Amino acid sequence: MSFPLLRKMFKQNAVLYWAFIGVIVPYFFLVILMYPMITEMLQGEDNIFGDLFNFGDIGSYTGAMVGELLYTFGLILFIMLVFKLAYKPIDVGSLSMTLMTGISRTKYMITACVFLLMKLAILFVLIFATGILSFLVMGEEFTFVNYLNVVALTMLCLAAVVFIALFLGIMFAGKKAAMALIIAVPVVLYILFMASQLHTSLNFLRWLSVFGWFVPAEVATGTASLWWIAVMVGYVVIVAVSFVLSTIFFKKKDLSL
Amino acid sequence: MGILITMIEIKNLNYNYPSSGKGIFDIDFEVRKGQVVGFLGPNGAGKTTTIRCILGFMKAQSGTVTVNGIDCFNNAPQVAKYVGYIAGEPSFPDGMSGIEFLRFLIDLRISEQGEVKEGENKLDKEILTQRMNTLVQYFELNANTKIKRMSKGMKQKTAIVAAFMHDPEVIILDEPTSGLDPLMQAKFIDMLQNEKKRGKTILISSHMFAEIERTADRVLIIRDGRIVAEDQVKNLKKAQRKSFYVTGDGIGERAGNAKDEIFSKMPKDFVINVLAENEVEFSVQTNEVDSFVKFISKLKVEDISKKEIKLEEVFMQYYKQDQQVEQGGIS
């Protein structure tokens, strides 16, 4: 790994990153907090689109609007995060000058992946700390381990999407397709996840999207089966395989620099 | 003795872009230590692809490319030790100033090459920084400006400093003066000449014929991915038709008169361009100079001067010849 390169990756757009973190941390916190409420609300009801988007009274205009905003806003934030994390390292802009310093492509790729993981780790720590603090302030009862599991699963899910996007981005590095794919990957996965919740008959779609592999509310309340541990391993495998494939592709790729 | 060392060696290099059918085909040349070689060709001729193969950004589909005997694709990081490079359109990272970027390149180079070349010529940060500062001053670059706010010329200067600050043995330049004002272009050419005196090996691709003419020992002309001419600049010029300006009373008028007693007997290979009533330009084949002298001795000549052939004209003649052959083939 190259420390000067890692330092540079962190310095670039640092302000934007921290500003972004400042928005996404409370957002994640809010979503996590609301998950038990949503599931409780949906208990005994058919899993229908209207219910999913409605955080309050289903007939309340404000409730529906807040739900819409949160989900749409969440998707936009998520795409921005994936884009920010996955696109920058393979931005071929200054790559020619960087490679001309004698850094190997493998080392470059390892540094880029460490950078991604570190950024996700920072996000993880912040979300975790914010959550604990908020629970304490609100006087809510919570189980430390369950909350840790939810945040870790969410972050690993995010890491899996980011690394899939990174791999596809590397395959098409230097082309407009790279940017399009990095945006399209989270959108398609998210749409599949949302579609799976439209109706029980579409439930199978959740297995096609990494977002649907676990139910955060179940993990948070400790009612989930041990399946979530397998999910966690699955995410780690996706990250590892994507990293290895990205490195191999990047090493062999013809770069139009 | 040093001049015999081959620094860049390309043998039967082929790289084909399947989508367009373009690429480079059977490229074969070498650049020896201390030589400056100009690489000429229009856009899309294959100059940049060849350069990308030398830098290890692209792997040749067949053939070999080496710098100082090291395979360029498989050992690209080692090749980078010797090479300074200016891209045709240099790009920079966001959010950094010129000086931050240059310092980052120094840090990265030191951290990488410190590992690669244990003991031998280890890079010194202080020396690199000094050289960077000297170059920044020489090109009057305001390096504290954020790169995204820099003009094209300033970005080009930053790229030049980045390419030269580690004092590389081999310098590869792809349109290096693009975006620079004439004053800076002249300064850059002076610097290249100085680097040449210091024994650096330079491959320069450019559309600016003046900079190649002033610096290059040898020129490669590439067309449609193939090298169509390779020789010393003076030999290429020698091989071209000679042009002479001839001044004499009414000579232009006479040249335009098909029934003129002398001009009607002019050898058919001579090409005349009437410039004024009293001035014409003769263009003759290299082996016809003697006939030309005999021919004009019959005229009342006041003055005669040889036209200096520019590299641009040599280049254009190669392209015209090829186009004529192509057109002949079609008709």
A13 chain-B contacts, CB cut-off 8 A: 94-95
A83 chain-B contacts, CB cut-off 8 A: none
Q: Which two tokens stand for residue A29?
A: 């916190």
**Closest Cα partner for B263 from B240, B235, B296?**
B296
Q: What SS3 class is residue A214? A: coil
d(CA A16, CA A23): 11
Of B77, B91, B107, nearest to A94 by CB-CB distance is B91
Query: Can you tell me the mean pLDDT for B3-15?
Result: 87
Query: Can you tell me the mean pLDDT for B208-212?
Result: 76
Give tens-digit pLDDT for B34-66.
Answer: 999 999 888 888 898 999 999 998 898 899 999
Pick the residue from chain B with its C-alpha nearest to A252. B59
Handedness of CA B260, B262, B267, B271 (dihedral sign): negative
d(CA B2, CA B6): 9
d(CA B158, CA A1): 26
ipTM: 0.75
At residue B11, the pLDDT reads 93
Q: Which two tokens stand for residue A245?
A: 């494939």
CB contact under 8 A, B159 and A97: yes
User: By 3-state DSSP, what share of chain A in percent is helix, strand and coil, each rounded to 5?
Assistant: 80, 0, 20
Handedness of CA B83, B86, B87, B91 (dihedral sign): positive
CB contact under 8 A, A102 and B90: no
A256 chain-B contacts, CB cut-off 8 A: 52, 57-58
H-helix or E-strand spanning residue B226: strand B226-232
Give tens-digit pLDDT for B105-161.
Answer: 999 988 887 644 445 556 688 888 999 999 999 999 998 999 889 999 999 999 999
Q: How far is A106 from chain B (nearest CA, A)?
A: 11
Q: Look at residue B203 and tell me whether its pLDDT is greater than 90.
A: yes
Report A:30-49 residues touching B (Cβ under 8 A). Answer: none
Q: How far is A192 from chain B (nearest CA, A)?
A: 34
B80 chain-A contacts, CB cut-off 8 A: 99-102
pTM of the model: 0.76
Q: Please check whether residue A104 touches B, CB under 8 A.
A: yes
- Could you give the angle at which helices B152-164 and B125-138 cross, rounded to 10 degrees? 150
Handedness of CA B293, B298, B304, B307 (dihedral sign): negative
H-helix or E-strand spanning residue B171: strand B170-174
Q: Which residues of B touch A (CB under 8 A)?
A: 52, 55-59, 76-78, 80-81, 83-85, 87, 90-96, 100-101, 104-105, 107-109, 111-113, 116, 159, 162-163
d(CA B272, CA B263): 10
CB contact under 8 A, B85 and A92: no
Query: Is B319 exposed, middle or buried, given 0-12, 13-18 or 19+ CB atoms closer than 10 A?
Result: middle
| DSSP code for B176 | T
